[in-house]
Amino acid sequence: MTTNVLMTVPTGPGVGLTSVSVGLVRALEQQGLKASFFKPIAQPHPGDEGPDRSTAMVAQGSSLRPVEPIPLHEAERYLYNDNIDELMEEVVGRFQASVDNDSTIIVEGLAQIPGHPYATRLNKAIARTLDAGLVLVTAPNDMRVQDLEHHVEIAAGSYGGIKAHDVIGCILNKTIPGSLGAKSYGDQFARRPIFKRNFALLGQIPVAEELTYPRVKDVAEFLRARIINAGEMDTRRIQSYTLCARGVENVLEALRPGVLVFTPGDRTDVIMATAIAALNDIKIAALVLTGGYEPSAALIALCGKAMAKGLPILSVESNSWDTAIKMQSFNQEIPLDDKERILNVKEHIARCIDHDWINSFALNHEERKLSPPAFRYRLIEQARALNKRIVLPEGEEVRTIQAASICAERGIARCTLLGKEEEIRRIAQNNGIELNHGVEILDPDSIRERYVAPMVEIRKHKGLTDIVARELLQDQVVLGTMMLEQNHVDGLVSGAVHTTANTIRPALQLIKTSPDSSLVSSVFFMCLPDQVLVYGDCAINPDPSAEQLAEIAIQSADSARAFGIAPRVAMISYSTGGSGSGNDVEKVREATRIAQSRRPDLLIDGPLQYDAAIMEKVAQQKAPNSKVAGKATVFIFPDLNTGNTTYKAVQRSADVISIGPMLQGIRKPVNDLSRGALVDDIVYTIAITAIQAGSIGA
């Protein structure tokens, strides 16, 4: 069946219906497809308040804003009065208000939970009413493969059976790694007879334990704990629990990264041991003092440095045993304000869905607007296919180490960390970071000498001597740059602790511009809610000439195309078309003419004001004949002052993620990070660098 309405229905309780549904939406967005989401009838969990969980999760990190579902009590009233037809009319009304006609629509059915015996009946009625293709969501739940096959076949029977034209297939969720691990279990299940006709296995989603880790603040709210020291309770996550009521020498092994430590509030020895572990950079999730005991002011003062390092300390009235027992009833559902965990769950599930099947729902072959999820997905997939080696000079910086670990785990790139191996492994262990064979660690002292002679040769025209070269190579950014210049790595990423100048200056001196470029410029990828835009130059050239501005425009257009963004280049000024005059406007006008003559294959227009470049209504008034105005994807600013100010204003006021600056026009890829970069920022910059390396080497 070919349909643009897909409805997820469960084969039983506890299959993770909501997570799979929102993950399907993200899978569509990753492929650049226009998606809509609709939850017909709410099913709030006990204690839920505020917006519906499914619609709120879909909206997180997306431009979609689905309508709220029909309240459950209203739906039940229709059922009790035997007015299911009227209920379906209400469903259709909300459906039409919630979705775009030219999108692929994910409809989440009702879950099978106690007290809702009508779930399957309503799901059948909704699917029939909306003419939806049905996707069964199932989970092994310790079943053998053949038992799971029978379970799915029986569940499908409620909707016409696996041979029915509107029963498309199933998604296997919550597979457990092990002897019948995620892949082997799914492979065995995929070979069962039920998949021999039109019914298909559409995805296999393994359990990812790290996606279940709650924040300390969630547990603090659950326990109604008093906050002695908040520390990093909003961001630290709990991987395990330990009850420390023994002698301190017997609890040291339990003091690991991510552990939540319960101990009686009068156990000064355990409190001190936990503080010492925190001082040694072991990221204990939190310390919970039980029994209502108040630590003395002297003890709090003694633990001050540990608390300053972010260690949360909580206090509860109940004793340790009762507190530990209470934790067994802790709700593992994702809080709706836990943006990071929601986005990670969506990305994890989206990666595990069959993307060939997802792409089969493309409505046409028109150019798609590249959304941030689609952009990030393409970055990772392109980088993964290239398998490039990227050097990270700031190898002893914790965010950089974690990013290298993620890149190795996901196959994004082979990262080389510069630093002392013992120190890097200590930092990794204390922060719960696993460094596998995909991460290389190089001691700068062991490799520095081999780069002295090549560096002297490159800079001999500047009178560089061996002694000065050795001194300069003490800087690990310079060392990493020489590794890149000598083709020992494919790209370099730095800036988590260094300034932009520290990162870029060695590249300009040692690597220099590519043969077809006369200058180095930069772009930022601005991840707006519904699309990704390219801004240049916002980091390098203070006041480019018309010739230079034209080259920046061409470089930026080529960069946009390399990363899947169809380039429509707007040359930004304070005037649109011929409405203004002055040296600044004339520079932009001349740059536009030069760029158009050099690259007639590109859509370039200017001068354009920012609003005329991005807003179709304004474009219709100010530049009605422009093929760029109102549709621009690449924005070229007349100088660094304008570009840097605009990118920061958009980034901060609209809460937009910006990736960059990415350098362009340089002979080999070197990229800078913000010193406030998050781990994900570093991962995506590594991916960008790998893709650039592949483009240069092509």
Architecture of domain 215-329: 3-Layer(aba) Sandwich (3.40)
Give the pLDDT score at 558: 93
Chain centroid offset of residue 92 CA: 34
Among 82, 79, 88, smallest CA distance to 117 is for: 79
Architecture of domain 378-510: 3-Layer(aba) Sandwich (3.40)
pLDDT per position as a tens digit, 356-389:
888 877 644 445 567 777 787 788 888 999 999 9
| Residue 45 scores a pLDDT above 80 | no
Mean of pLDDT over the chain? 88
pLDDT per position as a tens digit, 596-617:
999 999 999 989 999 999 998 9
CA distance 128 to 88: 10
Give the pLDDT score at 698: 47
| Residue 551 scores a pLDDT above 90 | yes
Coil, strand or helix at 490? coil
Going by the DSSP 8-state scheme, the letter that residue 530 receives in this structure is: S
Q: Fold match between 5-208+342-359 and 215-329? A: no
Question: Is the CB of residue 105 less than 8 Å from the CB of residue 36?
Answer: yes
Give the pLDDT score at 580: 66
| Residue 3 scores a pLDDT above 70 | no
What are the extents of the domains in the chain?
5-208+342-359, 215-329, 378-510, 521-665
Among 525, 483, 414, 492, smallest CA distance to 672 is for: 492
pLDDT per position as a tens digit, 522-531:
999 998 877 8
How many other CB atoms are found less than 10 A from the CB of residue 211?
Answer: 15
Question: Is the CB of residue 57 less than 8 Å from the CB of residue 28?
Answer: no
- Please, which pLDDT band fits residue 483 given cuts at 50, 70 and 90? very high
- Could you tell me the maximum CA-CA distance found in the chain, to the nearest angstrom? 92
Q: Pairing mode, if any, of strands 532-536 and 521-527? A: antiparallel
CA distance 595 to 604: 7
Give the pLDDT score at 369: 61
Give the type of residue at 80: Y
For CA atoms 46, 50, 52, 57, the dihedral sign is negative
Q: Is the domain covering 5-208+342-359 a CATH 3.40.50.300 domain?
A: yes
CA distance 52 to 179: 38
CA distance 17 to 54: 10
- Please, which pLDDT band fits residue 156 given cuts at 50, 70 and 90? very high
Share of the chain above pLDDT 90, in %: 51
Mean pLDDT computed over 536-558 = 94
CA distance 110 to 10: 8
Backbone region of residue 131 per phi and psi (left: phi > 0; alpha: psi in -120 to 50; beta: other values):
left
Chain centroid offset of residue 315 CA: 34
Give the pLDDT score at 184: 62
> Is residue 625 exposed (0-12), middle (13-18) or buried (19+ Cβ within 10 Å)?
exposed
Question: Is the CB of residue 620 less than 8 Å from the CB of residue 586?
Answer: no
Give the pLDDT score at 362: 62
pLDDT per position as a tens digit, 206-227:
888 888 999 999 999 999 999 9
CA distance 614 to 569: 11
Give the pLDDT score at 131: 84
- Segment among 31-35, 56-60, 117-121 with least mean pLDDT: 31-35
Of the candidate CATH numbers 3.40.50.10750, 3.40.980.10, 3.90.1420.10, 3.20.20.70, the domain formed by 521-665 belongs to 3.40.50.10750
pTM greater than 0.75 (yes/no): no
pLDDT per position as a tens digit, 445-460:
999 999 999 999 999 8
Give every CB contact of residue 37 below 8 A, 6+ residues apart in sequence: 21, 22, 25, 54, 55, 58, 64, 66, 98, 99, 105, 106, 107, 108
Going by the DSSP 8-state scheme, the letter that residue 353 receives in this structure is: B
